[in-house]
C-alpha cells in the first residue's frame, strides 16, 4: 500500500484509485486539468502564441531614430508565421522590432559599413538586450551583416509609421 503525507506531515494510506489518478496527473501534466470546454487543436495546426506581441504601451509611434545592434533571422525560421500573420520569407525585406509598430517602413544603416536597406517591420523581437532589430538574411546581406559577424551596430530610421487611429506618420528617415 502506498502512503502520502498531508499538509501537517501526517502519513495516510492512498487507495489504488488515488494512486492511479495521481500517476495519470503526473504523466499527462497540467493538460489533464485544462479549462472546462477546452477543445483540442487539430493536428498540423498550432495554438496562437500568447504574449508574443508587445503591448501597445511599449510601441514607439514617435518616428525617431534608434541606435543599437542588429541580428538576423536564422534560416530555421523560414516559413513560420510572424506577428502580423504573414510567413517569414528569408529573401524578403522583413524585419522584427520590439518597439516599432507593425507595418512600419524603416531604413536600416550598418554603422560600420555605411550600407543601408529599407525594411518593413512585420514581427516582434529580438528579445536579447541591446538588440533593436532582427533582419531577414537577404536584408542582412545588403547591409554587410554576415553570418560570421552575427551582429552589427545599426541605426534604424523610420520612414513611415502607422498610427493607432489608422493614419500614417512620416518618420525621421523620410527626410
Only one residue has cell 501526517, namely 10
pLDDT tens, residue by residue, 141-173:
999 998 888 899 999 999 999 999 999 999 988
User: Which pLDDT band holds residue 33 (cuts at 50, 70, 90)?
Assistant: very low
Closest CA to 113 of 144, 138, 140, 139: 144
Give pLDDT, residue 74: 80
Q: Please say if the pLDDT value at position 37 is more than 80.
A: no
Contact status, residue 151 vs residue 131, Cβ threshold 8 Å: yes
Burial (CB < 10 A; 0-12, 13-18, 19+), residue 30, is exposed
CA dihedral 97, 102, 103, 104 (to 10 degrees): -50
Q: What pLDDT score does 12 carry?
A: 59
Specify the residue for cell string 477546452: 38
Domains of the chain: 61-174 (2.40.40.10)
Cell of 107: 531604413
166 burial class (0-12, 13-18, 19+ CB within 10 angstroms)? exposed
Is the pLDDT at 40 greater than 80? The verdict is no
pLDDT above 90 for 14: no
Summarize pLDDT for 49-95 with one digit per residue, the tens: 444 444 446 899 999 999 999 998 888 889 999 999 999 999 999 99
Amino acid at each position: 500500500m502506498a502512503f502520502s503525507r498531508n499538509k501537517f506531515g501526517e502519513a495516510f494510506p492512498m487507495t489504488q484509485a488515488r494512486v492511479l489518478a495521481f500517476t495519470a496527473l503526473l504523466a499527462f501534466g497540467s493538460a489533464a486539468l485544462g479549462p472546462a470546454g477546452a477543445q483540442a487543436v487539430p493536428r498540423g495546426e498550432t495554438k496562437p502564441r500568447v504574449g508574443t506581441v508587445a503591448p501597445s504601451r511599449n510601441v514607439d509611434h514617435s518616428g525617431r531614430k534608434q541606435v543599437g545592434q542588429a541580428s538576423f533571422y536564422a534560416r530555421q525560421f523560414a516559413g513560420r508565421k510572424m506577428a502580423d500573420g504573414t510567413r517569414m520569407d528569408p529573401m524578403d525585406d522583413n524585419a522584427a522590432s520590439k518597439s516599432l509598430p507593425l507595418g512600419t517602413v524603416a531604413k536600416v544603416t550598418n554603422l560600420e559599413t555605411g550600407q543601408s536597406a529599407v525594411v518593413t517591420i512585420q514581427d516582434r523581437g529580438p528579445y536579447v538586450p541591446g538588440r533593436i532589430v532582427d533582419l531577414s538574411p537577404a536584408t542582412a546581406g545588403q547591409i554587410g551583416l554576415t553570418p560570421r559577424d552575427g551582429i552589427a551596430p545599426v541605426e534604424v530610421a523610420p520612414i513611415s509609421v502607422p498610427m493607432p487611429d489608422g493614419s500614417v506618420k512620416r518618420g525621421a528617415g523620410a527626410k
